[in-house]
Amino acid sequence: MNKFLNVTVGGLGFLYVLNDAYFRLLVKFYLHKGYSSVNAEKVANSTNIFSIIIILTILLVIFGVLAVISNMVYFMKGNFIFKLFLNCVAMFMPFLYVRNIWFSLYELFFCGIFVYYIWSLKRNTLTNGRHLLSQNHGIK
């Protein structure tokens, strides 16, 4: 359950980053078409992207809190601090939103953390599988 919650928080955060990038690209597209910045944002807002972002924010906070509680219960497992960091970075992302390069770097930082977490899960699964395989060969 702990892995599921951490992956869910990471996935929701990744969807949040994709929605933000989509909104920014829409605004840039309309600016390129000759709209003023106010009108470009108004037209981009008409795609109901903010309702999706609000739903993602609510789900991110709910699953994030559950994941933090789950990580606190299983604090003896590996990467405890890293998992808490992943969840906190993901949960604070919607609340730290600003339109500048620093927030884009924050989003890229989150994506990097999430990719590393997925990679570490895969690596641990492969290591555990090899360990079990070597134990089975020793029994014969």
pLDDT per residue, tens digit, the chain (140 aa), is 778 988 999 999 999 989 888 888 888 888 888 888 888 888 877 777 778 888 988 999 999 999 989 888 877 777 788 888 888 889 888 888 777 788 888 889 999 999 998 998 888 777 666 655 566 655 54
Number of C-beta neighbours around residue 79 at 10 A: 16
CA–CA separation, 114 and 112 (whole Å): 5
pLDDT of residue 73: 85
Q: What is the model's pLDDT at position 128? A: 64
Supply 114's token pair: 């999430």
pTM: 0.78
Query: Tokens 């992302």 appear where?
Result: 93
